[in-house]
């Protein structure tokens, strides 16, 4: 989940919580107030009705004090109104009711009698489902200090319910619209706040893809936290670029300076070998001394040659990193080049392993054109073939092949050698990385061959894959963009490449 999305969700959740709490408080306060107003109106109305009934009874039963059926003298008609009225005797029987009640049963009206006998009012709501439908408000009916029964007012709550429903609907709708608006505004504000972080991410990604440490961030707000982060990022890039440039110059200078003394050493070794041969022919040295000298000089020559190869590879990579190396881009017939490399691989295998110890064969060979530097592509294939020869034991097989798939030219070098562990395959193109360091030195490996392969592939806008299993062998597949015949006439003569 991105930071922008998390900030938007936090904005929306905070506002939503606030609005919900506000809506609950407003709704509860409104509901309480409306019901209090309803009960107050009911108390006022029932008071008027009770006073009228008591006055009517007092007028019509003058002189009668002990008749238990005093309510029979009640002759006042309970007029029809918005609220229903019913008179209930002390024994819980309905004596009379207003016409607007009709035959509607009033449930629980007898529950008011205990409080009426104690001289107190009583109220309750008749519920239907989760909502109140009627308010039943009961007051004592007293004549000449004598409790005769109770007068009950039945008042509909529909007006209050309708008002609360409408308010509830408005609150829900308002909260929902507010959350949507908050999400939109929150996303906009989060995007604006994180725009420079996006710029930092894009710049870092661009540096990773292009390996161009010269890119910098454009800082618009120097006083903000993100602005200070961008300044720190730019300062860090300055230091990294300075260190990287220093390293590249050091590698290039050292590689260049070492070539001259190394050439001198090689020349002197050859001279010493000739002297030993001449001295041996004149019987100045015995056979054992001559053999020992030749063995030592042979080892020096071998190590010097290996060092010369390593220095050449280092110089090549240093020039590639600095952009000083230029590729001669042209149309290259990969099938012809592969055939040349195949023959050279056979000779190299025979020289290193001996006759019939390695089976070098040619796999599928489609005709294919690519735009590239022929000599660098030859170096790429020879490095892969040399790597296969080094790590394939006697009796193994090395296969070189070429295919065309979906506009890509696939060149593969497969062997039945020792293979590469899966956890090390992602590191094999790093400079000086060797899966078996002791064995690699024994075989003359420097850890730079596959780094050069990766650079050449990248310079040709291709990619390389490796599939390998320990003790089962490895297959390196190079993918290069195929070149149509009609495009072969319009290729650039040279292209600068850099790290």
In degrees to the nearest 10, what's the CA dihedral of 225, 226, 229, 234? -140
The stretch 418-432 carries a mean pLDDT of: 84
pLDDT confidence bin for 324, thresholds 50/70/90:
low
Distance, in Å, from the CA atom of 194 to the CA atom of 131, rounded to the nearest integer, reads 49
Within 8 A by CB and 6+ apart from 80, the residues are 98, 99, 100
Within 8 A by CB and 6+ apart from 480, the residues are 334, 370, 372, 408, 409, 411, 457, 460, 461, 462
pLDDT value, residue 466: 92
Reduce the DSSP state of residue 396 to 3 states and report it: coil
Residue 487 has pLDDT above 70, yes or no: no
Distance, in Å, from the CA atom of 203 to the CA atom of 205, rounded to the nearest integer, reads 5
Beta-bridge partner residues of 149: 89, 141
pLDDT value, residue 430: 82
> 312 and 326 in contact (C-beta within 8 Å)?
no
pLDDT value, residue 65: 47
Distance, in Å, from the CA atom of 50 to the CA atom of 138, rounded to the nearest integer, reads 10
> 104 and 92 in contact (C-beta within 8 Å)?
no
pLDDT value, residue 438: 47
DSSP state of 145: T
Burial zone of 43 (CB within 10 Å; 0-12 exposed, 13-18 middle, 19+ buried): middle
In degrees to the nearest 10, what's the CA dihedral of 336, 340, 345, 348? -170
pLDDT tens by residue, 360-417: 899 888 888 999 999 989 999 999 998 898 888 888 899 999 999 888 999 999 999 8
Q: Cα 69 from chain centroid?
A: 86
Task: Set out the domains of the chain in order of their start, with CATH numbers.
Answer: 3-166 (3.30.450.20), 225-322 (1.10.287.130), 327-497 (3.30.565.10)
pLDDT value, residue 64: 46
Q: Which of 251, 398, 229, 355 is nearest to 313 (CA)?
A: 251
Residue 75 has pLDDT above 60, yes or no: no
Distance, in Å, from the CA atom of 6 to the CA atom of 15, rounded to the nearest integer, reads 14
Higher pLDDT pick, 110 / 64: 110
Region of poorest pLDDT, from 43-47, 321-325, 410-414 = 321-325
Distance, in Å, from the CA atom of 84 to the CA atom of 45, rounded to the nearest integer, reads 11
* Predicted model pTM: 0.50
Reduce the DSSP state of residue 324 to 3 states and report it: coil
Helices 225-281 and 287-322 cross at an angle (nearest 10°) of 150
Q: Which of 155, 166, 161 is nearest to 31 (CA)?
A: 161
Q: Which of 408, 5, 416 is nearest to 187 (CA)?
A: 5
Q: Give the residue carrying structure tokens 């910098």.
A: 216
Distance, in Å, from the CA atom of 151 to the CA atom of 148, rounded to the nearest integer, reads 10
Reduce the DSSP state of residue 378 to 3 states and report it: helix
Distance, in Å, from the CA atom of 38 to the CA atom of 136, rounded to the nearest integer, reads 11
Higher pLDDT pick, 291 / 364: 364
pLDDT tens by residue, 365-379: 888 899 999 998 999
pLDDT value, residue 104: 77
């Amino acid at each position: 989940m991105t930071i922008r999305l998390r900030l938007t969700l936090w904005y929306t959740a905070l506002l939503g919580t606030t609005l919900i709490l506000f809506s609950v408080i407003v709704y509860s306060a409104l509901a309480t107030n409306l019901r209090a107003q309803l009960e107050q109106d009911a108390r006022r109305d029932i008071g008027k009705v009770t006073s009228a009934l008591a006055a009517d009874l007092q007028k019509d039963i003058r002189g009668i004090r002990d008749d238990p059926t005093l309510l029979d003298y009640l002759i006042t008609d309970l007029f029809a109104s918005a609220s229903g009225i019913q008179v209930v005797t002390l024994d819980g029987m309905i004596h009379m009711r207003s016409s607007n009640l009709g035959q509607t049963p009033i449930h629980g009206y007898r529950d008011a009698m205990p409080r009426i006998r104690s001289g107190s009012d009583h109220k309750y709501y008749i519920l239907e489902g989760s909502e109140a439908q009627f308010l039943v408000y009961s007051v004592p009916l007293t004549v000449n200090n004598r409790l005769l029964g109770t007068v009950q007012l039945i008042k509909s709550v529909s007006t209050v319910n309708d008002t609360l429903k409408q308010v509830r609907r408005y609150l829900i709708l308002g909260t929902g619209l507010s959350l949507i608006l908050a999400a939109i505004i929150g996303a906009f504000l989060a995007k604006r706040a994180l725009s420079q972080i996006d710029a930092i991410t894009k710049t870092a990604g661009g540096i990773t893809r292009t390996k161009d440490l010269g890119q910098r961030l454009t800082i618009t707000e120097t006083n903000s936290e993100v602005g200070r982060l961008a300044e720190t990022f730019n300062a860090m890039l300055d230091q990294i670029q300075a260190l990287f440039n220093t390293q590249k110059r050091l590698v290039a200078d050292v590689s260049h300076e070492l070539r001259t003394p190394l050439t001198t050493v090689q020349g002197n070794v050859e001279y010493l070998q000739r002297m030993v041969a001449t001295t041996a022919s004149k019987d100045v040295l015995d056979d054992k001394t001559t053999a020992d000298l030749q063995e030592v000089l042979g080892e020096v020559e071998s190590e010097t040659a290996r060092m010369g190869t390593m220095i050449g590879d280092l110089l090549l990579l240093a020039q590639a990193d600095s952009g000083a190396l230029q590729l001669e881009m042209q149309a290259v017939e990969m099938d012809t080049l592969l055939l040349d490399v195949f023959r050279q691989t056979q000779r190299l295998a025979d020289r290193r392993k001996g006759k019939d110890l390695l089976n070098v064969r040619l796999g599928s060979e489609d005709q294919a054109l690519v735009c590239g530097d022929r000599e660098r592509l030859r170096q790429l294939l020879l490095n892969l073939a040399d790597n296969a020869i080094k790590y394939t034991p006697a009796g193994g097989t090395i296969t070189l092949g070429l295919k065309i798939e979906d506009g890509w030219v696939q060149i593969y070098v497969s062997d039945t050698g020792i293979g590469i562990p899966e956890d090390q395959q992602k590191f094999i193109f790093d400079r000086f990385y060797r899966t078996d360091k002791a064995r690699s030195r024994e075989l003359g490996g420097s850890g730079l061959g596959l780094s050069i392969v990766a650079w050449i592939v990248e310079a040709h806008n291709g990619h390389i894959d490796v599939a390998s299993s320990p003790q089962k062998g490895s297959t390196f597949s190079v993918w290069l963009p195929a070149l149509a015949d009609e495009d072969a006439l319009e290729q650039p003569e040279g292209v600068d490449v850099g790290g």
